[in-house]
Structures are given as C-alpha cells and as structure tokens.
Amino acid sequence: MNSKQGVAAFFAEKASELKFEDFLSDEVHWAKVGILDTIGVTLAGASEPCAEILSEVLAGSQGPSVVFGQSTTCSALDAAFINGTASHALDFDDCNNTMGGHPSVPILPALFALVDEREVSGKEFMTAYIAGFEVETKLAMMVNFHHYTKGWHPTATLGVFGAAAACARLLKLNVQQTQVALALAASGASGIKANFGSMTKPMHIGRCAREGLLAAKLAQAGYTANTSDVFEHPQGFFEVYNGTGLYDIERGLSAWADPFDILKPGIAIKQYPCCGSTHPAIDCAIELFHNNQINPQDIQSIEVWIHARRLQHTNRPEPRGELDAKFSVQYVVARALLEGCVSLAHFEDEAYGNDEVRALMRKINAQPYDETQFSAANHFGGEVRIKMRTGEVFETKVEQPLGRTSENPLPKDRLKKKFDLCGKGVISEQALEDLYTLVYSLETVSDMRKLTSLLKSH
C-alpha cells in the first residue's frame, strides 16, 4: 500500500484485478468445498424458525431470486437476507481460523441471490467468492483477536466487507465503485455476541449478506461514501470497533494472497451442528466413548478444557433452549459421551432437557487450558478427563478438531455424507446429486441459474 492509498482502496484494487486463471487448482478445489458445504447447511436451515419467521415477515417480496428449499422467489436483497439467516441457523457452516468466525455464509447467499438476476458463469462466481473471502480474512488479520474477544461477531462485522467485495466483483464494478461499496459496508457492520444462543445470531448473517449486496448495488447506482479513510478515520472502523493500538493494518495488507486464506489455513468444515468452539471437546468425548467401556452412572466427575476465549461463550451448564444448547460445551460433551455423536436431532424438540443428559452435565466442570496442556499459539485444542467412582481415569486430548484446516481436511466421503444429510427431504435426491456434480464441475457452468434452479422445493 502506498502512502496515499487507504485500506479501502487497497482491497478494492486487489479484489477488482483478480482473475479465475490466477488461481491454483487447490484454491479452486477449496472454493468448491465451501460452496458445496454452504448449499447443504442452507438447505438444512431453511425450515428453522429463524428463517421461516423472516420469510413470513418479508412475504410479498417480488423478484427472481430463489429462496432455498421453497418454491417461491423474491427480490435479491430479501433472498440474501432469508438465505443468509438459514445458512447460519444450525451453526453447521464452515469456519476459518484467521476470521475467528464463518467465512462463507456472509458471502455466498448474497452471490446466489445476485446470479438469479443475470447470467453469471461458474468461473465468475468462484472468483467473486474467493475475492470476498480474501478481503474479510485479511481484514480479520488486522483486527483479531481483540475484535473477537471484545464481543463483536466477526462473521457479521467482518463478513459484510467480504459480501460487499464479492458482489462488487460479480457486478464488475470498477475500483472506485468497489471502494464505495466497502465504505458503505462499514456502516452496515453489526453483530454482538450477547445475542448468541438466540435467533438473532443467524439473523446477523442474513443482515450481513443483505448489507453487502445492497452496498454493491448502491455503489453501482452512484451512491457516495467516504472512500478515502473509512477504515483509518479517527471515527472510522478500526478506532470505533477495536480502539487505538488494538489493530495492525500492515499485518493484513502484507499477507494479501500470500497465500489465499481459502487455501491456508483454509476452510474448517464442521462435523457437528453446534458452535465450533465446542468441537475439540466433542472430538475427545467421542474418542473416549468408542475406545472405552464407560458406564455413565459410574462416572464421578468430568473435566473439560478448551481455550479461554472459546470458553467465554460456551460455558453454559444450564442451556435454556435448543439454540442455547448449541453453545453449551457441557451439553454437547454429555451427548457425545452418552451416544458417541452429536447430531441435528440433539438440538430439536427440547432434547437438551433429557434427564440422563442433565444428570451427566452436572458432573462436568469446564475450564480454560494453560500452557502446560497446549502451546500458547494453539487456540483450538481440547482435553477431556473422566474420573470413575472406582478411581479409574480415562482421558484424551486433540490439538485441533478434524477438518479445522486444509492440512487436516474432512475426508471427501464425510463431506458428501454431510451434504446429503442436510439436503435430504428438503429437495429431491436427484436434485442433490445434480447439485453435487455441478459444484465439482463449476468451472464448466456457463449460467449459475442452472444450479440455483435446483435449490427450490418442488
């Protein structure tokens, strides 16, 4: 970045100049993984109350954009809002270590809504997705993890910039227009962790996708915004959202595309439909379940350790609802120890109130780990120790959950199984198979509406 170029100008220039031909095959592969997984979890979340209520409130919206799992269409802005909310409804969507959140769901619902308005190729779609992914994660590199710890919901507060950059790229906006879109997005960045465990959390993502798309459309139409220093201004994004001395601009700028974040650390694919911060402990509990004969009634106590920053929003020994249970490390560990899995059904029909589960949860003590257990640089470890009434002890630990990075990927067959599970009963089995095939050959698709047409219920 030269001395006169601001952050918005830098991101706008870099995002605008990206070409599909510039990407490595591995980068394209991970884009397809993110797209496939997001389609699946959005279909699964389409019937959740947070998405259904939103659809009802927005009833009457007119336009060509598909609402996942429904037979109706609506305006692109409303489709981005509804589908974005559905995509995060189950907390089953992908994560990214740099972002401290979920990188794909702020972007893809906005792009899917936009492609129903115009002819867009698969190559153009993936280029826009990777551009938005890179903008939001390199911005995250500048502000995290203070931003995350302070209480902002990075998926929304940072994802809105990814959505704006991606939509601007898909609309073929020039550099100046893309700067406007990013500056507009700065006034649309919102989402606080106090609303975790409620319908409002997934709605953060719906609003974020809508705001990003709206920013790009307004920029295309000639709207104005502070393009010179919206990030650096004394009352701009960095100072307001982080504070003086609590961000590092150069750290993110110098890392642009070196490598692309979608490749490294990459996309973390979730195996369990709950807060990713609980996943290391779930992995440990499932391993103990399968490797030992443990009678839950004979357990005296259970110790669980995860990173302090992650424990802050997952230490919920008495979950008060299905969504709250998704953030309770005590609940998910109890489920894993009792059944050897954590599934969608565990967050339905007041399953969190099961007497056997509640009895086991009361034996669980969750606490932050220290440097004697994991290195100071490891934010993703987990450890579980079970003490039996006989005095016998079972324990295990993981450095990170399976699928957390591109170097520790979820096997392709498990990704397919998850995709099928999410889409089953929402759309036809044939449509699911066709979607899977299309995503993995996306560079050959000339019109993305071929794909979005399969997302409707019939």
Model pLDDT for residues 131-157, shown as the tens digit of each residue: 999 999 999 999 999 999 999 999 999
Go through 195-226 and write b for each residue having 16 or more CB atoms within 10 A of its CB, e for each that does not: ebbebbbbbbbbbbbbbbbbbbbbbbeeeebb
Note whether residue 42 is domain-resident: yes
- Please identify which residue in the block is written with the tokens 């008495």: 318
Q: What integer best gives the mean pLDDT of the chain?
A: 96
Residue-level pLDDT at 4: 66
Residue-level pLDDT at 222: 98
Q: Could you tell me where the DSSP H helices lie in 93-222? A: 108-115, 122-143, 146-150, 154-157, 159-170, 175-186, 200-221
Q: Rounded CA gap, 84 and 280, in Å?
A: 26
Note whether residue 2 is domain-resident: no
DSSP codes joined into one string, 82-120 = HHHHHHHTTS-S-BBTTTTB-SSTTTHHHHHHHHTTS--
Note whether residue 403 is domain-resident: no
Same domain for 261 and 312? Answer: no
Phi, psi of 423 (to 5 degrees): -90, -15
Tell me the residue range of the domain where 262 lies.
Answer: 7-271+410-455
Same domain for 415 and 359? Answer: no
Give the residue among 287, 316, 290 at the shortest CA–CA distance from 383: 287
Q: Rounded CA gap, 358 and 361, in Å?
A: 5
CATH of the domain at 117: 1.10.4100.10
Same domain for 192 and 236? Answer: yes
DSSP, collapsed to helix, strand or coil, labels residue 376 as coil
Note whether residue 287 is domain-resident: yes
Q: Rounded CA gap, 141 and 249, in Å?
A: 8
Q: Rounded CA gap, 182 and 193, in Å?
A: 23
Same domain for 224 and 362? Answer: no
Residue 449: beta bridge partners?
Answer: none
DSSP, collapsed to helix, strand or coil, labels residue 386 as strand
Kindly list the distances between the CA atom of residue 57 and the CA atoms of 53, 60, 78, 220, in Å, as whole numbers in the listed order.
6, 9, 10, 28
Same domain for 416 and 330? Answer: no
298 CB-near residues (< 8 Å, 6+ apart): 388, 389, 390
Q: Is the pLDDT of residue 280 over 90?
A: yes
Q: Rounded CA gap, 458 and 454, in Å?
A: 9
Q: Is the pLDDT of residue 441 over 60?
A: yes
Same domain for 145 and 284? Answer: no
- Max Cα–Cα distance, the chain, nearest Å: 73
Give how many domains the chain has, as a whole number: 2
Note whether residue 182 is domain-resident: yes
263 CB-near residues (< 8 Å, 6+ apart): 24, 26, 27, 30, 406
Q: Is the pLDDT of residue 338 over 70?
A: yes
Q: Is the pLDDT of residue 438 over 50?
A: yes
Same domain for 42 and 154? Answer: yes
The pLDDT tens digits of the residues spanning 346-373 come to: 999 999 999 999 999 999 999 999 999 9
Note whether residue 405 is domain-resident: no
Same domain for 242 and 295? Answer: no
**Helices 122-143/7-17 angle, 10° precision:** 150
Same domain for 210 and 184? Answer: yes
Note whether residue 95 is domain-resident: yes
pTM equals 0.91
The pLDDT tens digits of the residues spanning 408-434 come to: 898 899 899 999 999 999 999 999 999
CATH of the domain at 376: 3.30.1330.120
Note whether residue 404 is domain-resident: no
Residue-level pLDDT at 3: 46
The pLDDT tens digits of the residues spanning 3-29 come to: 468 999 999 999 999 999 999 999 999
Same domain for 234 and 378? Answer: no
Least confident stretch, 1-15, 287-301, 402-416: 1-15
CB atoms within 10 A of CB 404: 26
Same domain for 121 and 171? Answer: yes
Same domain for 28 and 175? Answer: yes
